[in-house]
Amino acid sequence: MIVRFKLLVRVIKAMGKMHFATKYAYFVWVFPFEVVQLVIDILLWFFFVNALGGSYAFEEKYSVNPIHFLLIGIIASRFLNYNVSGIFSIVRNLFQSSYSTALQRLSYQEYLSMYNIEHRYWLIGVMFWEYFRTCIIAVIYLLVGYLGFGLRLNISPDGLLLALLTFILGIIATLGIGMVSAGVYLYIGVYRGAEPVQWTIRLLSKIISGTYFPVETLPIALQYIALILPHTHTLTCLRNILLIGKGIDTLSLEILIIQAIAFPLIGYLLFKLGLKKHFKRGTLI
């Protein structure tokens, strides 16, 4: 156990060095532009809200400021959507034999295996640094909200704990979907084009999960479909806790808990099946 943990720390550390040594240009050149873009996006929404009659009507109906509503939606969705598509893209890069000459093929996964590094360490390492980047962006969103739009969150210990619990449940459920997607990808064994599971979930989450507007505004049929997405429940609960200050007795976390158990389980089984199929098929494809 300790050896595995040490290995994981070593991989994460080395990946961090790679990131900071090779991608420092990101922080110098790309990151500032991303921040400007982010502020412009929030302003855009602010002007939309004003153009549609101001925040008063929205606040009256949903008991929450629309910009605050939007900020929580965007921050949480970044994490959740990364989980849905992140595992798929990491697995694709790992198992795709991109380094090839003529008949020889050696994938990252094979490369790492030669040094006794299992693919899960690489997967966790990549996700760790992507979470790190997403956390920085989340902090900037919160700062812009706090300084520019009067965002005040319910940060009582109970509220924070509950928000954290909800967030973790959402993360686990979406990681499950990500594993389903990666499993399908490995099982089918085609390394080109979009993977339908993560593509569909990401598309639906944009429209019906309530990232940008309340789910209640959707037609009733779409509202039912929205219940399938863990995004919907996570966002609703987070907003209720952090913006309205609701307690656990007023939240409906049941579906999210079921999803946080069911999706990873299905994802794990499919991923294992996909891996089995992948190794049976071999890499000479």
Partner 1 sequence: MIEQSCGNIVVEARNLWRSFRKAKTVGGPINMPTAIVNYVYRRLKGQYESVSYALRDVSFTVRESEFVLMLGPNGAGKTTLLKILAGILPYSKGSLKIFGEDPYSSREHLREVRRRVSLIPNVMLGTAFFDAALSVERNLMITCELLGLNPARALKMADLFDLKDYLDTRLGALSTGLVARAVLALHLAKEADLYLFDEPAVALSPEGRMLFKRLLEELKREGRTVIYATHYPSELVDVFDKVLILCRGRKLFYGTTLDFTNTVFKGKDTCIEIELYNGYRDVFTLGGEVEVSGNRARIYCSSSEAYGLLKEIVSSLREGYVKRIKVIPRSFEEAYIMYLGVEK
- Give residues in contact with partner 1 (CB under 8 A): 7, 10-11, 13-15, 17-18, 21-22, 99-106, 108, 110-117, 185, 188-190, 192-196, 279-285
Residue with tokens 């959707």: 218
Closest distance of CB 72 from partner 1, Å:
33
What φ, ψ does residue 150 adopt, rounded to 5°? 60, 35
CB-based contacts of 204, cutoff 8 Å, min separation 6: 225, 226, 229
Closest distance of CB 113 from partner 1, Å:
5
Closest distance of CB 18 from partner 1, Å:
6
Beta carbons within 10 angstroms of residue 136's beta carbon = 14
In 96-195, alpha helices (H): 108-114, 119-149, 157-188
Closest distance of CB 11 from partner 1, Å:
6
The span from the CA of 100 to the CA of 95, in Å, is 12
- Closest C-alpha among 228, 247, 95 to residue 173: 228
Q: Pick the closer one to partner 1 by CB: 226 or 270.
A: 270
The span from the CA of 79 to the CA of 158, in Å, is 22
Closest distance of CB 271 from partner 1, Å:
17
Q: Pick the closer one to partner 1 by CB: 51 or 114.
A: 114
Residue 234 to residues 220, 237, 254, 259, Cα–Cα distance (Å): 19, 5, 11, 11
Q: Which amino acid would we find at residue 175?
A: L
Closest distance of CB 275 from partner 1, Å:
12
Q: Pick the closer one to partner 1 by CB: 11 or 172.
A: 11
Closest distance of CB 116 from partner 1, Å:
5
Q: Pseudo-torsion of CA 68, 74, 76, 81, nearest 10°?
A: 170
Closest distance of CB 204 from partner 1, Å:
18
Q: Pick the closer one to partner 1 by CB: 63 or 113.
A: 113
* Strand partners for 99: 106
Q: Pick the closer one to partner 1 by CB: 186 or 256.
A: 186
Q: Pick the closer one to partner 1 by CB: 32 or 196.
A: 196
DSSP 100: E
Q: Pick the closer one to partner 1 by CB: 190 or 220.
A: 190
Q: Pick the closer one to partner 1 by CB: 21 or 147.
A: 21
Residue with tokens 């940008």: 212
* Strand partners for 101: 104
* Strand partners for 106: 99
